[in-house]
Amino acid sequence: MTASIDTFRKETRAWLEANCPPEMRKPMTREDDTYWGGRNATYSSEPQKVWFERMRDKGWTVPHWPKEYGGGGLDGEEAKIVRQEMAAIGARLPLVSFGISMLGPALLKYGNDVQKKEHLPKIAAGLIRWCQGYSEPNAGSDLASLQTRADSDGDEFVITGQKIWTSYANYADWIFCLVRTDFQAKKHDGISFVLFDMASKGVSTKPILLISGKSPFCETFFDGVRVPKSNLVGTLNRGWDVAKYLLQHERAMISGMGERGGGRPLGQVAANAIGVDDKGRLDDSVLRGQIASFEVDEAALAAAAERAVDLAKAGQAHPAFSSAMKYYGTELNKRRHELLMSAGGIDALEWESSRSHEGHAARSWLRTKANSIEGGTSEVMLGIVAKRILDLPGA
Amino acid sequence: MALVLTEEQTLLRDSARGLIGEKAPVAHMRKLRDDKDVTGFSRDLWRTFAEMGFCGLLIPEDHGGSNLGFVEAGVVMEEIGRTLMPSPFFSTAVLGASALSRGGSGAQRKEFLPKIADGSLIATLAVDEGAKHRPVKTRMQAVRSGNGFRLNGAKALVVDGHVADLLIVAARTSGAPGERDGLTLFLVNPKSRGVAIERTTMVDSHNAARIEFKDVDVTSDGVLGEVDQGGALLEGILNAGRATAAAEMLGIGEEAFTRTVTYLKERKQFGKLIGEFQALQHRAAHLYTEIEITRAAVLKALQALDADYGKAGFAVAVAKARAGTTTTLAVQEALQMHGGAGMTDAFDIGLFMKRARVCQELFGDANFHADALAQSKQY
């Protein structure tokens, strides 16, 4: 470990200690604890605002992005230290957005200069909130069969069709969207990746009620939406490359949910809820074993996530490895919530009461069932691993 | 520290893989088994290990070693796992070297460490007594007698106990079974009067012994570390063993997996390669994921031992528990996917299953370590 890295860690620790408000070091319990940014964003508290603004001004909403785009200009090692030091004090993310976790990496790789200068700084500063237009009613796991059409008309595309599972489409300012620009080509070869304003004429959204209740998901309809051709990212009809690259980042983000966990260690949550025997052991010996096994796997997954970053830095990462991590991370998160429900017992069953934070435990449990569906099902992930990593025949 | 092997560690892996692949493929282990070899390993190969510096990886340079670390020892263990090579590396170069480096007096270090490094002495740890690994429940008694102690008790699963030149024995000098305090480690010459060694032939055809101690006298020079305070020293040695055993298990699991994936690409049924069936593809992909996650956990534990030997307990428990479940899954899936061929003795895959079962029990199975983790987190 070099001296400069040591110094960087010390400085980071000191800066976070001085700048992260105590309220922003507590586990998040409510939906509005997450700050998403955007044109219509409001802060749920003063500390949330202060924390966001300080991190934004330091470039640490996106520590590893170049400074010219509003990032912190940190290298991989430094960005890892920032994450570790934030985790060490339980600091919340100051800004969560699909611009940071999904579109940004794709724009950095495939966007032209104009697009990068226009969009990346607004993502870093939380000015524009993005949504993702990928799935369609008849294009789920088989995403490449999507049918939303973009017809050429002079300098514009005219977009017509329907998307589904568009998270927060009703709050989003812009959308990154997969459209079909060639209906004759093979399904993967006629797709393009375009950006447009959700305030455009012809865009409408409708929220979807899930088994967990109100959800961020929407159906999104496009009826002759006119989009400048300059908003095409990458090459016409090569949008699938961009889409796949972005999906790797989306899967990495979703797999991280198991690793970050839901705040307090599961064993302690259960001990508080159920009680312990005279030896200090959880008063449900079978559940205790299940939780212990879960915590073993959780710690191992955290190590694997750390190793994945280090492998990428060393140029040894397999590009499809994020599929393995997405698969494992989401299955683990489902396990966590099954165990939380078991630990919570009767208390975790309440659906509508302030005592239960409006059914937080039960709704979260149900919501996690989508983890292994959204962003590519577990079965699709396993198929990708079988084909691209294990090279199994006909996969 | 980055959670990947350094360039030097990769070179070490390549040289270990080259040597072991050439001199000790699975056929080597099979021949020792079929010949009913009295030592159960190759002394020639052990000398080669010493010449290549493997025996002294964990030994300071002033005692003839190379003073590397647990990551390096794990790298060698993983390669040993791949070919199921019987070798005193674990008992001597890991357990013996750790025990004496960490707990030895100046005289003890000077007497034994150079001999471990040059391959002339085989050492091992005698800790287990019952059917399961429960070091805190150690019953074996060491009672003060004259200038030393008199030992009575019995040990099991003493790795390489039948060929060892030095036994490191955990015994109770005070307290009752179940208490953490009151343990002391002793250096015992296996040729001492009252030591009876029975080589145990086990399911994996590797090397271990049951050892009885009847009124065995040890002088006070034979105490390793402090009297009554051996618990922490023992736990450190066990953690060194657990993390490197986890590395061996990783090698066993990944080799079983690699052979299975190869088989899926060769074997035809219903006019297709069986690897084309999605039922098998998904199981293989799941297993791949488990192995890669375990690989990270094992490396994390080895690095943790190198970084702060006394504080690696959590990472080691995670690694040994994960290695236990992952490798068990790997060998079970390997056997099932090999079909009837996997059930035959002529086919190697069953040997991996046998070795994995022993490694699972060695120094605590997955349940033991999950339980330890729960205890450490107070639930």
Is A281 within 8 Å of chain B by CB?
yes
- Give the span between the Cα atoms of A322 and A309, in whole angstroms: 11
Residues of chain A with pLDDT > 90, as a percent, come to 84
Check: CB of residue B344 under 8 Å from CB of residue B323. Answer: no
Partner-chain residue, chosen from A296, A313, A390, that has the shortest CB–CB distance to B318: A296
Instruction: Say if B2 falls within a structural domain.
Output: no
Give the DSSP letter of residue A146.
-
The mean pLDDT of B186-196, rounded to a whole number, is 98
User: What whole-number percentage of chain B has pLDDT above 70?
Assistant: 100
| Residue B281 included in any domain | yes
Minimal CA separation from A171 to chain B, in Å: 36
CATH number at residue B278: 1.20.140.10
Judge if B40 and B98 occupy the same domain: yes
CB contact under 8 A, A307 and B321: no
For CATH 1.10.540.10, the residue range(s) in chain A are 3-108
Are residues B369 and B236 both part of a single domain?
yes
Do residues B246 and B367 both lie within one domain? Answer: yes
Closest CA–CA distance from residue A218 to any residue of chain B (Å) = 31
Superfamily of domain A3-108: Acyl-CoA dehydrogenase/oxidase, N-terminal domain (1.10.540.10)
Mean of pLDDT values over A328-338: 95
Q: Is residue B318 situated within a structural domain?
A: yes
A313–B2 CB contact, under 8 Å = yes
**Does residue B52 sit in the same domain as residue B22?**
yes
Average pLDDT, chain B: 97
Inspect the interface and report whether the beta carbons of A281 and B379 lie closer than 8 Å.
Answer: yes
Task: For B372, name the nearest residue in chain A, comparing CA atoms only.
Answer: A292
- State residue A248's pLDDT score: 80
All residues of chain B having their beta carbon less than 8 Å from the beta carbon of residue A310 are 2-4
The fraction of chain A above a pLDDT of 70, given in percent, is: 96
Average pLDDT over residues B179-203: 97
Contact B379 A267 (CB under 8 A): yes
Residue among A296, A321, A389 with most chain B CBs within 10 A, to mutate: A296
Which of B273, B282, B375 is the closest to A386 by Cβ?
B282
- Delimit the CATH 1.20.140.10 region(s) of chain A: 241-389
Residues B64 and B105 in one domain: yes
Q: What is the mean pLDDT of residues A179-184?
A: 96
pLDDT category at B28 given cuts 50, 70, 90 is very high
Mean pLDDT over B211-217 rounds to 98
Contact: A390, B288; criterion CB under 8 Å: yes
Any chain A CB within 8 A of the CB of B264? yes
Q: Does the CB of B202 have a partner CB in chain A at under 8 Å? A: no
B63 and B136 inside one domain: no
Size of interface A-B (CB pairs under 8 A): 146
Picking from A270, A301, A310, the nearest residue to B2 by CB comes out as A310
**What is the fold of A241-389?**
Butyryl-CoA Dehydrogenase, subunit A; domain 3 (1.20.140)
Cβ–Cβ gap A295/B377 under 8 Å: yes
Residues of chain A with CATH 2.40.110.10: 130-237
Contact A303 B278 (CB under 8 A): no
Answer whether B279 touches A (CB < 8 Å).
Answer: no
Could you give the ipTM of this predicted complex? 0.95
Q: Say yes or no to pLDDT of A18 above 90.
A: yes
Strands of chain A, DSSP E: 130-133, 149-153, 156-164, 174-180, 191-197, 203-207, 218-228, 232-233
User: Which residue from A minimizes the CA distance to B2?
Assistant: A310
| Minimal CA separation from B354 to chain A, in Å | 24
Q: Is the pLDDT of residue A263 over 70?
A: no
Query: Residue B362: inside a domain, yes or no?
Result: yes
Q: How far is Cα A250 from Cα A242, in angstroms, rounded to an integer?
A: 12
Query: Mind telling me how many Å the CA of A21 is from chain B's nearest CA?
Result: 28
Cβ-based contacts of A391 with chain B (< 8 Å): 265
Residue B1 lies in a domain: no
CB spacing of A386 vs B281 below 8 angstroms: yes
Q: Verify that B369 and B253 share a domain, yes or no.
A: yes
Q: Quick check: is B151 in a domain? A: yes
The three-state DSSP-derived secondary structure of chain B is CCCCCCHHHHHHHHHHHHHHHHHCCHHHHHHHHHCCCCCCCCHHHHHHHHHCCCCCCCCCHHHCCCCCCHHHHHHHHHHHHHHCCCCCHHHHHHHHHHHHHHHCCHHHHHHHHHHHHCCCCCEEEECCCCCCCCHHHCCCEEEEECCEEEEEEEEEEEECCCCCCEEEEEEECCCCCCCCCCEEEEEECCCCCCEEEEEEECCCCCEEEEEEEEEEEEEHHHEECCCCEHHHHHHHHHHHHHHHHHHHHHHHHHHHHHHHHHHHCCCEECCEEHHHCHHHHHHHHHHHHHHHHHHHHHHHHHHHHHHCHHHCHHHHHHHHHHHHHHHHHHHHHHHHHCHHHHHCCCCCHHHHHHHHHHHHHCCCCHHHHHHHHHHHCCC
Query: Taking all residues of chain A, what is their mean pLDDT, rounded to a whole number?
Result: 93
Q: What is the pLDDT of residue B244?
A: 98
- Whether chain B has a CB inside 8 Å of the CB on A327: the answer is yes
Residue of B nearest to A284 (CA): B379
Contact flag B282-A394 (C-beta cutoff 8 Å): no
CA distance B364 to B372: 10
Q: How confident is the model at residue A258 (pLDDT cuts 50, 70, 90)?
A: very low
CATH number of this structure's domain A130-237, picked from the four choices 3.40.50.2300, 3.30.930.10, 2.40.110.10, 2.30.110.10: 2.40.110.10
Residue ranges making up the domain that contains B276: 232-376
Do B132 and B268 belong together in one domain? Answer: no
Same domain, B54 and B143: no
Q: Do B261 and A271 touch (CB under 8 A)?
A: no
With CA atoms as reference, the chain B residue closest to A388 would be B285
Q: Is A291 on the interface with B (CB under 8 A)?
A: yes
Query: Does A240 have pLDDT greater than 70?
Result: yes
Query: Given an 8 Å threshold on Cβ–Cβ distance, is A307 in contact with B281?
Result: no
Mean pLDDT of A215-221: 94
Query: What pLDDT shows up at residue A31?
Result: 80
How many independent structural domains does chain B possess? 3
Report if residue B292 sits inside a domain. Answer: yes
- Interchain proximity B377–A265, CB inside 8 Å: yes
Among the candidates B88, B122, B156, a domain finishes at B122
Per-residue model confidence as pLDDT tens digits over B291-321: 999 999 999 999 999 999 999 999 999 999 9
In this predicted structure, the answer to whether residue A261 has a pLDDT above a threshold of 70 is no
Mark whether B195 and B267 lie in a shared domain: no
Q: What residues of chain B, 357 to 376, have a C-beta less than 8 Å from chain A?
A: 366-367, 369-371, 373-375
Average pLDDT over residues B264-281: 97
Q: How confident is the model at residue A395 (pLDDT cuts 50, 70, 90)?
A: low
What's residue A259's pLDDT? 45
Based on the domain organization, do B356 and B242 belong to the same domain? Answer: yes
More confident residue, A22 or A257: A22
Q: Distance from A210 to chain B by nearest Cα, in Å?
A: 29
Same domain, B218 and B253: no
A308-328 tens-digit pLDDT: 989 988 999 998 999 999 999
Final residue of a domain: which of B169, B204, B228? B228
* pLDDT reading at A30 higher than 60: yes
User: How distant is the Cα of A73 from the closest Cα of chain B, in angstroms?
Assistant: 20
CA-based radius of gyration for chain A: 22
Q: Is residue B77 part of a domain?
A: yes
Task: Please check the confidence at residue A156 and state whether its pLDDT lies above 70.
Answer: yes
In this prediction, what percent of chain B has a pLDDT beyond 90?
Answer: 99
**For A392, which of B3, B264, B321 is closest by C-beta distance?**
B264
Give the mean model confidence (pLDDT) for residues B343-358.
Answer: 97
- The residue among A294, A390, A391 with the most chain B CBs within 10 A of its CB, best to mutate, is A390
Q: Which of B228, B244, B273 is the last residue of a domain?
A: B228
Check whether A141 has a pLDDT greater than 90.
Answer: no
A392 vs B: CB within 8 A: yes
Q: Which residues of B are less than 8 Å from A383 in CB distance? A: 278, 281-282, 285
